[in-house]
């Protein structure tokens, strides 16, 4: 399975956890990614960025994992931002119409800027 050559790495920057994924985010890699993502979610980070800039393919398992992260962070009052370039990498999100529901940004920079901006009053 192609997910065998995928990688993930988490760094913390100014209370923001950035999970960078490289390769194919398919079922095989989703299983390996769960512990990494869980660890990132358990940090005291006030926001999590999932960086998909180097992801070549994402399938429904990968999307389900992102939905799970979104829901868990949301219930904590914390923010998720997904960095995913427009074009072929966003296809899976466009077909599922999730690009309109999930907080998506074209680059890591934009995602960081979005979570760092002062929160508007509730």
Partner 1 sequence: MGSDEPDAVDLLGEALPHVVPERIVEVASEQAGCPVAAYVLDVEGLFALRLAGDGDRFPERFRAPVGVGPELIPEALPVLRRLVSDRVGPSTLWPLMVRDRIMGFLLARDPAARDLDALAMQAGLALELASGYTDVVHSVRRRKDMQPAAEIQQDLLPPRLAHVEDGDVAAGVLPGYDVGGDFFDYASNADGLWLVIADATGKGNSAAALSSLAIGALRAARRAGAGLQETARLTDEAIRGLETERYLTAVLASWDARRHRLRFINCGHPSPLIVRAGGHVEELDGERTYPLGIRFKERLFPTVSAELGPGDRLLLYSDGLTERQTSDGSRIGDDGLRGILAELGVVSAAMMVRGLQDAVLDASPEPLRDDATLLVLEPHD
| Interface contacts to partner 1, rule CB under 8 A | 27, 59-61, 63-65, 67-68, 71, 95-98, 100-101
Instruction: Tell the smallest beta-carbon distance from residue 56 to partner 1 (Å).
Output: 12
Instruction: Tell the smallest beta-carbon distance from residue 4 to partner 1 (Å).
Output: 14
- What is the rounded end-to-end Cα distance, in angstroms, of the chain? 45
Instruction: Tell the smallest beta-carbon distance from residue 86 to partner 1 (Å).
Output: 17
**Cα-based distances in Å from 56 to 23, 40, 59, 74:** 6, 22, 10, 27
Extract the tokens encoding 15.
């209370």
Q: Which residue, 42 or 71, is less far from partner 1 as judged by CB?
A: 71
């Amino acid at each position: 399975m192609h997910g065998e050559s995928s990688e993930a790495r988490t760094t913390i920057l100014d209370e923001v956890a950035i999970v960078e994924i490289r390769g194919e985010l398919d079922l095989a890699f989703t299983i390996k990614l769960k512990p990494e993502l869980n660890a990132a979610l358990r940090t005291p980070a006030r926001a999590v960025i999932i960086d998909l800039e180097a992801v070549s393919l994402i399938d429904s398992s990968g999307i389900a994992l992102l939905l799970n992260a979104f829901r868990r962070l949301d219930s904590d009052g914390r923010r998720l931002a997904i960095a995913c370039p427009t074009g072929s990498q966003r296809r899976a999100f466009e077909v599922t119409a999730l690009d309109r529901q999930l907080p998506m940004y074209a680059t890591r920079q934009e995602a960081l800027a979005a979570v760092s901006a002062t929160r508007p009053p509730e």
